Amino acid sequence: MDIEHYIEETNRAETAEEVFRLFQTHVAALGFDKSIFGGATNDELFKDRFEISLPAPILVNNYPEDWTKHYLQNDYARFDPVIAMMPRQWGPLVWRDIAKKDHITRKQKRLLRESEDAGLRNGVSLPMRGPDGETFVISLASEHAGDLDLAQNLPQLRVIAAQFFFSFMDLWAARRPEPQSVSLTRREQECLQWSARGKSAWDISVILNISEATVRFHLSNAFSKLGAGNRVSAIVRALRWGLIQL
């Protein structure tokens, strides 16, 4: 693997998503076809900075969709041993070593077994630190049960992960609009406000007497103006900036 070429590519990338794609390609060459990046700090500082309300926010990932949904629905971040260990972890954390620790609970062991059943095997997590002490985590896994040469690959992974982290966060932070620069149309506000109240696109179409496609159009425009990649982020930003009310 040409790490210098990887660094040059990520430095030239124009979007955070492109940085993640390049990262995925390079870690896949080392045997890791599954990766996820998010926060491991459950505090108001992190939530305010990144405007995500999940206990351990996922910024980007290519984990199996079913597993991600299962993980979030069951609030596994509350007792995920990786999340718990990251704030005190300096080096890579190899998943197969976690189960050997004395303080691991039965629930945590069950989570590790379930993740392996979901195709997340031979995992390793790397801690990253933000400018105000926030802790982030980059986790990598393979769908294959065979052993990977972690001892040989960890030094490269640390370099690749660090370059990904700084390149991704530079672009992620730069794309966030300033509150005063955002202006939503009346329809965009209405659609987003009803969405914040738990209504589906179909529900909103009935309430506002417009088509479901039109609702999705207005929501998409609102997401774009707010610099949000999903409904939760858009609602949090719109509420914080006083653009909608519950």
For the chain, domains (ranges, CATH) are 3-174 (3.30.450.80), 179-240 (1.10.10.10)
What are the tens digits of pLDDT across the range 124-168? 999 998 766 778 999 999 988 676 777 778 888 999 999 999 889
What are the tens digits of pLDDT across the range 19-41? 999 999 999 999 999 999 988 87
Mention every residue, 6+ apart, whose C-beta is less than 8 A from residue 190.
204, 208, 218
For residue 148, give the DSSP letter: P
Whether the predicted model's global pTM rises above the 0.85 cut: no
What ranges make up the beta strands (E) of the chain?
A: 34-39, 58-61, 93-94, 121-129, 135-142
| Average pLDDT value over all residues in the chain | 84
